[in-house]
Amino acid sequence: NKENKEVLIEVADEGQGIEADILYKIMTPFFTTKRAGEGTGLGLAVSEKIVREHGGQITVISESGKGSVFQVVLPVDTEKRKIKVLIVDDDEGFRHSMKDVLESREAYAVDTAPNGVEACINIGKTLPDLLVVDIMMPDMDGVEVCRVIRERKDLSRIKVLVVTGHPSSPKIRTLKEMGFTHILLKPFKFDVFLKKIEEMMGRV
């Protein structure tokens, strides 16, 4: 793509495909569907880390019984692509504080939204690498946003960090059952917030 200065590498097969309920796990280190001794579960995790270190991204679209398509997008120039982050929180002050923390590091390009509806509109326009989302919000809460991400295969590569000030909320369990296990409880120190994100994005 000359306009965006990107190179697209696409690998497709007509194999058995990947079940929807495990698709979001395939980049997780040590995750494997093979029997013990047949695989380490590190191949895709390492591949994703290498691609991200070169400023790129990996996307996978798969359907059980119909095969899979892996797409690797890499920048043409040597300057690393910034990690795109979308922060969704109805607390304006807290939202902008998180934005300022990330933008203090040159590696991140940050956008924000005050609720789930605007978050979904934003995601439809620009796919983020990372979504930081509060649980309790008006109009459309964090659980509903995460459900949209889980149900749409084209959004499967988005990493999600849930932040909440309600540690006893049953919605936390709902999110964990959906596979969203990266959760930070408010209030938290912003250095902890930054470290968590850098771990999730393979920058440590």
- pTM of structure: 0.68
If you search the block for the tokens 């922060």, which residue do you land on?
87
184-203 pLDDT, tens digit per residue, is 999 999 999 999 999 998 86
13-61 pLDDT, tens digit per residue, is 988 888 877 887 888 877 777 766 666 677 888 888 888 777 788 888 8
What span, in angstroms and rounded, lies between the C-alpha atoms of 59 and 57?
Answer: 7
Domains present along the chain, CATH in parentheses = 6-75 (3.30.565.10), 83-199 (3.40.50.2300)
91-141 pLDDT, tens digit per residue, is 999 999 999 999 998 889 999 999 999 999 999 888 999 999 999 998 899
Asked if 84 contacts 157 with a C-beta cutoff of 8 angstroms, the reply is no
Residue 86: the pLDDT is 98
